Structure 1
Amino acid sequence: MKALFLKYFKGDPVIWTVMIILSVYSLLAVFSSTGTLAYKYQGGDTSHYLFKHSTIMLAGLVITYLTHYIPYVFYAKISRILFFASIPLLILTLALGTNLNEASRWLTLPGGVTFQTSDFAKLALIMFLARILSKSQGDMRNWKTAFRPAMIATCAVCLLIFPANFSTAAIIFVIAFVMMFIGRINIKHLLAVAGIGVVLGGIFIGIIMFKCDLFPRGCTWKSRWLSFIGKAEDHGDANFQAEQSKIAVSSGGLFGKGPGNSSQRNFLPHPYSDFIFAIVVEEYGLLFGAFPIIGLYLFLIYRAGVIIRKAQSSFAALLAVGLTFSLVFQAFINMAVAVNIFPVTGQTLPLVSMGGTSIFFTSVALGILLSISRSIKESENESDTAPATA
């Protein structure tokens, strides 16, 4: 069985295993948490969302499988095209995108399918930065070679995402910053960026606190922050979500209530996406829910570290850094929100939350990571089978 698996599923088997186990958690949690949704929109057919989500998860697995067979160097070749295609898509989303909670985050495609362009832009930017930084490794002292184009690209994407989705813009900026640090950008330049970021962030927070209606979602951001620090004047939506999530996590205890026995799924606004971790902990507890999921993401970091150390090129290493950090950083932010050690952000839990766009782009990211791993293994096998020379 193992030999058959390794024959068709190349790359790091641990990453494949992590993906499959997270998918199982996802199916169980989504089935449990969509009951209210099913009774509201599907006449009580609780299997509707399970079937839909299973189809999306299977499609994601197929995407990963196909992607991991494409040589990773191909992504360097198309990175510019993808990046420059993402800019007009983000502009189009701001102008004509589907609005939800005063935020325009989705483009509606023919057939009524919604597409979150920020996920596409994030993936395209990671590829583009890996290409820029890898090509500039021999001339890192010249700030015009790598730092300037990398910052222009990052700021362009973040500024276009920021009005509708502050948390995603901030996450993308942090990902880019980490990639530039690993990519050996001059530390003075990075410290200058960090300093400017702190100053601008302070000014922005001050504006939001005193005049939140200057931004389309400013009052939502203010409400979430005040709720997080415990100074909200009323029991707003953000405060309600955080409280219900804390109840779910605390009531789960060590062993949980058992599959399908969540009570907070009926109170949390988005138990199948933003707060799915809280449902997992409530039903499976710390021992069978929280710790295994955290461990799986940590395993992903570890295996990605092995891939990065063995990578055959700086592009492969930087691409692996960006993709892995993106997935794990988002995962830990989602889990931090669920246990109320971070303000509500609306970020999903990769490979666990319900949502087609998120699952598909996560699948592509893991497929690329497996492609890099596959290339390393093939190179090692060629070295092992090469005839010795006298």
Structure 2
Amino acid sequence: MNETADKLFAQIPSVEVAGGHILKGTRGDRYIWGIVVLLALISLLVVYSATGSLAYKMYQGNNEVYLFRQLSFIVLGFVVIYFLHRINYTLYSRISLILYLISVPLLIYTLFFGAEINDGSRWIKLPVINMTIQTSDFARLALFMYLSRQLSRKQEVIKDFKKAFIPLIVPVFITCGLIMPANLSNALLTGATSILLLFIGRVSVKHILLVIAIALIPILLIIGVAVSTHNANTENKAANNSLAQSMQSVGRFGTWVSRVQSFMYAEEQEIPYQVQQSNIAIANGGILFGLGPGNSRQRNFLPQAYNDFIYAIIIEEYGLLGGAFVMFIYLIFLFRCIRVFRRCPYAFGAFLALGLSFTLVIQAVANMAVNVNIVPVTGVTLPLISMGGSSFLFTCASIGIVLSVARNLEQMEGRQMAAAAKANEQVV
């Protein structure tokens, strides 16, 4: 199977740009390159379908506006992947502390002065180009680079609480604590990936369990408030609504409580509109082939059909088989990244590849779980498929760094094979 796949990838022609080959010099895991290309193609198809009616309404019949916008982000994303994968990954170790120290004030600035969109202050607006950037994506990337560096440097004292655990966990708490007020789901995903990386990095299990216990406190608090304030009695609904509204003044606590209540008591109260439309879209898709490309019905009713709920559109148009295929692609990506982790002889590169791949796959699983109503609604996008933005570009940056590790590993193995062949010639 591997030989067949290698032959297929070898037959893929490079893309000529300005008399050269844009893919000339690309190295690393060719399966990961192929997965990125495949997800980008899926993104073009689904985003074009999900935004067709919106583009027609917003731009007076020009249905291709968002298609070309997504195409431009994909091209820019591939440029990011290409240049980052050409950099020796050891450079990321050297700059990881600087990037992390930059991310903390950025998160603080976003928390107090960020652009508020959909009741959350998660973005900062760049002047001149008038583009918004979600600083939590940059902070997450910087955190995993810094954690990988620290884990590689502290392996000899990794079980020590003061020498290893405290320096490792403090950055995680700072980053997640600054992300949480505006984006609880992103903070939880970042924390979960960090804990998983610490576990793989041989941090003491009892220390990890302590972190999990502390992290469960706000989650249990939200669930407790949601249960205590919920009352199926119609007479008390007004009081419950006023209580929820008063909680809105404390960041987004009221939003979290209402989402948990909507998820826990779906049979007793009205299901959120986006969940209803997502369920309808999935039901329309059926088991096999769905309604077909471009034939989605719920794209006109489903909020964020091109972003947070794009997986429901995939199932509607391509059926459960199409949805399972997309999930399979992400699992193959994780498998290839684990392979890079196992082959890499240097701890920093191994932890870096694994940490960045885990966060992307966990984010993809979280998005799919929201779309099929397994977990409460969150604002998590589907990596490389949801409509482009800063999140798309930071995802490409993460993949570029993973490919940098794979590229340098490939070069090192090539030098070792050449040295071994030369040694054999000398013996003969």
TM-score by length of 2: 0.87
Find the partner of 2:264 among 221, 225, 229: 229
Identify the residue that residue 314 of structure 2 maps to in structure 1: 280
Identify the residue that residue 342 of structure 2 maps to in structure 1: 309
Identify the residue that residue 5 of structure 2 maps to in structure 1: none
Confirm whether residue 24 of structure 1 aligns to residue 58 of structure 2.
Answer: no
- Distance verdict in 2 for CA 1:153–1:232, change over 3 Å: farther
Following the alignment from structure 2 to structure 1, what is the Cα–Cα distance between the partners of residues 313 and 218?
Answer: 36
Q: Aligned with 2:368: secondary structure?
A: helix
Conserved 8 A contact 2:100-2:139: yes
Following the alignment from structure 1 to structure 2, what is the Cα–Cα distance between the partners of residues 112 and 7?
Answer: 33
Q: Aligned with 1:145: secondary structure?
A: helix
Identify the residue that residue 168 of structure 1 maps to in structure 2: 186
Find the partner of 2:110 among 89, 93, 98: 93
Conserved 8 A contact 2:277-2:301: yes
Which has more radius of gyration? 2
Conserved 8 A contact 2:89-2:404: yes
Q: Aligned with 2:270: secondary structure?
A: coil
State, as a whole percentage, how many aligned pairs show the same letter. Answer: 45
Following the alignment from structure 1 to structure 2, what is the Cα–Cα distance between the partners of residues 131 and 208?
Answer: 40
Following the alignment from structure 1 to structure 2, what is the Cα–Cα distance between the partners of residues 266 and 37?
Answer: 8
Find the partner of 2:73 among 52, 56, 70: 56
Find the partner of 1:347 among 376, 380, 395: 380
Q: Cα deviation per residue 1:275-331 (whole Å; 9 max; x = unaligned)? A: 1111111111122x2122111101001111110010121111111111010000000
Identify the residue that residue 159 of structure 2 maps to in structure 1: 141
Q: Aligned with 1:115: secondary structure?
A: strand
Confirm whether residue 192 of structure 1 aligns to residue 210 of structure 2.
Answer: yes
Following the alignment from structure 2 to structure 1, what is the Cα–Cα distance between the partners of residues 418 and 388?
Answer: 44
Give 2:376's aligned amino acid: P
Q: Cα deviation per residue 1:5-36 (whole Å; 9 max; x = unaligned)? A: 58532100000010001001100011011123
Following the alignment from structure 1 to structure 2, what is the Cα–Cα distance between the partners of residues 217 and 41?
Answer: 30
Following the alignment from structure 1 to structure 2, what is the Cα–Cα distance between the partners of residues 195 and 165?
Answer: 20
Following the alignment from structure 1 to structure 2, what is the Cα–Cα distance between the partners of residues 153 and 200?
Answer: 18
Give 1:2's aligned amino acid: A
Confirm whether residue 294 of structure 1 aligns to residue 309 of structure 2.
Answer: no
Can you give the 5+ residue segments of structure 2 that lack an aligned partner in the other structure?
1-8, 15-22, 230-242
Following the alignment from structure 2 to structure 1, what is the Cα–Cα distance between the partners of residues 267 and 171?
Answer: 37
Confirm whether residue 217 of structure 1 aligns to residue 252 of structure 2.
Answer: yes
Q: Aligned with 1:8: secondary structure?
A: coil
Identify the residue that residue 293 of structure 2 maps to in structure 1: 259
Q: Aligned with 2:116: secondary structure?
A: strand
Following the alignment from structure 1 to structure 2, what is the Cα–Cα distance between the partners of residues 67 and 95?
Answer: 32
Aligned length: 387
Q: CA deviation at 1:208?
A: 5.3
Find the partner of 1:381 among 414, 421, 424: 414
Conserved 8 A contact 2:193-2:358: yes
Following the alignment from structure 1 to structure 2, what is the Cα–Cα distance between the partners of residues 281 and 372?
Answer: 34
RMSD: 1.7
Identify the residue that residue 274 of structure 2 maps to in structure 1: 241
Confirm whether residue 76 of structure 1 aligns to residue 84 of structure 2.
Answer: no
Q: CA deviation at 1:198?
A: 2.5
Identify the residue that residue 123 of structure 1 maps to in structure 2: 141
Identify the residue that residue 34 of structure 1 maps to in structure 2: 51
Give 1:179's aligned amino acid: L
Following the alignment from structure 2 to structure 1, what is the Cα–Cα distance between the partners of residues 75 and 217?
Answer: 45
Following the alignment from structure 1 to structure 2, what is the Cα–Cα distance between the partners of residues 78 and 300?
Answer: 26
Q: Aligned with 1:144: secondary structure?
A: helix
Give 1:349's aligned amino acid: L
Identify the residue that residue 155 of structure 1 maps to in structure 2: 173
The range that moved more, 204-213 or 15-24, is 204-213
Conserved 8 A contact 2:40-2:74: yes
Q: Aligned with 2:307: secondary structure?
A: coil
Following the alignment from structure 1 to structure 2, what is the Cα–Cα distance between the partners of residues 192 and 42?
Answer: 53
The range that moved more, 260-269 or 36-45, is 36-45
Can you give the 5+ residue segments of structure 1 that lack an aligned partner in the other structure?
none
Conserved 8 A contact 1:223-1:232: no
Identify the residue that residue 10 of structure 2 maps to in structure 1: 2
Q: Aligned with 2:308: secondary structure?
A: coil
Conserved 8 A contact 1:248-1:282: yes
Instruction: After the TM superposition, list the runs of 4 or more consecutive aligned residues in structure 1 that deviate by more than 3 angstroms.
Output: 3-7, 207-212, 230-236
Identify the residue that residue 132 of structure 2 maps to in structure 1: 114
Following the alignment from structure 1 to structure 2, what is the Cα–Cα distance between the partners of residues 181 and 82?
Answer: 24
Identify the residue that residue 366 of structure 1 maps to in structure 2: 399
Q: CA deviation at 1:219?
A: 2.1
Following the alignment from structure 1 to structure 2, what is the Cα–Cα distance between the partners of residues 267 and 229?
Answer: 24
TM-score by length of 1: 0.95
Q: Aligned with 2:121: secondary structure?
A: strand
- Distance verdict in 2 for CA 1:342–1:203, change over 3 Å: closer
Q: Cα deviation per residue 1:49-90 (whole Å; 9 max; x = unaligned)? A: 111110001100111011100011010000000000001100
Q: CA deviation at 1:151?
A: 1.2
Give 2:197's aligned amino acid: M
Conserved 8 A contact 1:102-1:216: no
Q: Cα deviation per residue 1:330-377 (whole Å; 9 max; x = unaligned)? A: 001101111111111110000000131111011011111111111111
Give 2:134's aligned amino acid: Q
